[in-house]
Chain A
């Protein structure tokens, strides 16, 4: 076992983790910052983001407009003070990225170009072709190299936290290349471990997106907030789930059912917009939850086509022409060709909804701090309260920056305030105890002599988990299926106790890592399912099928769900929402908006 001491520890090397590490390191160059990640930073799933990052940019745009879009898009479950802070700081962060070399796409006059995005009133999404996340991640990683006080621990898998009565004390990590356990002490720790999309079968996420950080914080008593809100992206490729960016609709792509009909007009998103004239908040530029739900209805009515085993609808880009597609959506052309053998210039792309984003996460206050002093969370693993019941596309890349910086600065301040605190005996004793638990646990997993012949492998349990989540916790939900899924998850947790792994080695034991990830995923899945069961209303990405629950119910449920781990079980509570700046209104898109506004005496 090796021990290390740092001022600040960042867990995760995605967009959020890198931004936080840079902020902490540049706040004070005498602070020593450690950044741990289970993959090399540029492999983090931020790399897959295609579409762009939102910030108020044009003269005809305003903070108020971005605020309204975000709050309404989140069906009034966003923390409004947090949204307000976010919209005011996003632009400066994107400018900072520009100065660090991010290759943003440009207008002919050299200014950064902005594009349309679903649910946004006006063009405010910065983009770098259709590889925005890739370019942001590489820019941040490369920029981080300038800071000698950031020390990277690449391919270190964080297992646990060390805490004492004054708050956080450090983390325990497994060095993947050797199998050795390390204890890293620090008085400020930032979790930036990303989402949990891989708990569902069909998703747009990378294999590493297993909810580790959420489960680790949760097991230490930090609540997971708003976990029932899981965003489906309407356009994933059948089979793999690989994402076809929303920007392809922003640029004018249209959705067709098997009869070549633009079916979205039947779901309160019309009237049909002319080909080549996409209109913000209409038709294909409606919000993601509505579009995914429309797919479900088309599927129920037998109006979807087939691609292999999958029911699909079609994204038609042909009218945009080869030249435009190759310039603006080159990656989409490459992906469609490689993974479904379709050239978008010539044929519509078969697509279907896929789980994409976890709106909920580790609960923090508006300053990114959790209920454990000195433990911060940021990015997709966190719930700072920005997205409410549904995230608007292109808000989360900006979130990584705005709150990554905030978390980094807060952590730096905390580290300085606690600089003289010694890692006293209690903390050392705690870390010893936690370390011993993990050593036993790993030895237990490897001990095949005690294997129950009926026990299943982690791979089988994982398959069962992702299948039950898709069946019971999908685009539409109802009591009986949720109940069944919750029971299945609990049975899988019990079965997990008997799991053994084959691989007995220390070096790159991915059998062991996947097995531990599954345990994290099971915790996260249980929280998602429990919150989905208890939220007996429909709001944003959470839609219930029972006739009496298909509407939003502010009287009972204008509240965040909080799931905590107490006395070895998941417990649900409710928390009030900050609606101090904008009273809950109706979420409407397409011409429905105008009608509703007229009904309300024209107020927007």
Chain B
């Protein structure tokens, strides 16, 4: 059988061994269905067992396998060799997600994203169901109410939008597109009463106003979440909530005089 191969080059880096990351080249067999992840798995099992990267579901839902492919953030399991035109002189380049610290090879420090995610309080607030006994009845939510936030609930926490965001690259304290989308998801949920608790972070200098609206985050999102829209709607909310704060503040001052 005549097996076609493709050249790819992969970032290698071990903090225990290397001063600097470098690129290593591999030739992998290829057909119409070979994904970037398949190629990495082939290398791991047949060529070089020391290559490290994250993956699990191989069906674009667990969010583990984000990498840069020729400079663009992609899910390795949902990106295919067939989509890249290349010659032996120009291999497909696979690198760790941009803007994160690299731990080893293609593995980055995901806590840099998850800390932001956890900071936006991504859970229903004010529904008073936190008792040890179970609630008896489900709340009502119309399909229209559901569809207000549904898209923002589809985030798989892959971090591609962070790798696409120039602001996050400059300021790692920026809450960032994925986490803002999640905050927005809860703010829009008819069952939630936690918006006032989430707004201070979104209003802060590391919140929505850090965004300069490049919009690349939404382009790279593999799940159609459109985090840029969330950030933008967040700006409107933020402007409103700051106006209210301002108004309340001046009223208070007025009362004290």
Q: A101-B189, A106-B143, A457-B49 known; A308 and B33 CB under 8 Å?
A: yes
- What chain A residues lie within 8 Å of B84 (beta carbons)? none
- Does A48 contact B62, Cβ atoms closer than 8 Å? yes
- Does A508 contact B52, Cβ atoms closer than 8 Å? yes
- Does A99 contact B122, Cβ atoms closer than 8 Å? no
- What chain B residues lie within 8 Å of A104 (beta carbons)? 138
- Does A145 contact B118, Cβ atoms closer than 8 Å? yes
- Please encode chain A, from 318 to 334, with 1 for each CB lying within 8 Å of some chain B CB and 0 for all others: 00000000000001001
- Please encode chain A, from 441 to 482, with 1 for each CB lying within 8 Å of some chain B CB and 0 for all others: 000000000000000010100010000000000000000000
- Please encode chain A, from 85 to 104, with 1 for each CB lying within 8 Å of some chain B CB and 0 for all others: 00000001111101111011
Residue ID in chain A nearest B57 by CB atoms = A206
B55 at the interface (CB under 8 A from A): yes
Report how far A506 CA is from B146 CA in the complex, Å: 46
A577 at the interface (CB under 8 A from B): no
Report how far A387 CA is from B43 CA in the complex, Å: 39
- What chain B residues lie within 8 Å of A510 (beta carbons)? 44, 52-53
Which one, A146, A339, A508, A509, contacts B33 given CB within 8 A?
A339
- What chain B residues lie within 8 Å of A27 (beta carbons)? 132
B139 at the interface (CB under 8 A from A): yes
A110 at the interface (CB under 8 A from B): yes
- What chain A residues lie within 8 Å of B107 (beta carbons)? 508
Number of interface residues of B (CB under 8 A): 64
Which one, A47, A94, A146, contacts B61 given CB within 8 A?
A47
The smallest C-beta distance from A55 to any residue of chain B, in angstroms, reads 11
- Does A146 contact B62, Cβ atoms closer than 8 Å? no
Q: Which residues 21-38 of B sit at the A interface, judged by CB distance below 8 A? A: 32-33
Report how far A93 CA is from B49 CA in the complex, Å: 43
The smallest C-beta distance from B130 to any residue of chain A, in angstroms, reads 7
A305 at the interface (CB under 8 A from B): no
Report how far A100 CA is from B189 CA in the complex, Å: 11
- Does A507 contact B132, Cβ atoms closer than 8 Å? no
Number of interface residues of A (CB under 8 A): 68
Residue ID in chain A nearest B138 by CB atoms = A98
B232 at the interface (CB under 8 A from A): no
- Does A134 contact B124, Cβ atoms closer than 8 Å? no
Residue ID in chain B nearest A503 by CB atoms = B50
A81 at the interface (CB under 8 A from B): no
Which one, B139, B150, B154, B157, contacts A98 given CB within 8 A?
B139
Of the stretches A37-45, A67-75, A274-282, A360-368, the one at the interface is A37-45
The smallest C-beta distance from A41 to any residue of chain B, in angstroms, reads 10
- Does A206 contact B49, Cβ atoms closer than 8 Å? no
The smallest C-beta distance from B116 to any residue of chain A, in angstroms, reads 12
- Does A511 contact B130, Cβ atoms closer than 8 Å? no
B72 at the interface (CB under 8 A from A): no
Q: A507-B15, A511-B49 known; A96 and B63 CB under 8 Å?
A: no
The smallest C-beta distance from B3 to any residue of chain A, in angstroms, reads 13
B230 at the interface (CB under 8 A from A): no
Which one, A93, A308, A335, contacts B59 given CB within 8 A?
A335
Report how far A242 CA is from B58 CA in the complex, Å: 8
A26 at the interface (CB under 8 A from B): yes
What are the 3 A-B residue pairs with the smallest beta carbon separation, nearest first? A110-B140, A459-B45, A206-B56
Q: Which residues of B contact A (CB under 8 A)?
A: 14-17, 32-33, 44-46, 48-50, 52-64, 78, 103-105, 107, 110, 114, 118, 121-124, 127, 129-130, 132, 134-143, 145-146, 149-150, 153-154, 156-157, 182, 186, 189, 191-192
Selected A-B contacts with CB under 8 Å, 8 pairs: A43-B56, A99-B139, A145-B122, A207-B56, A240-B59, A242-B58, A308-B33, A501-B49
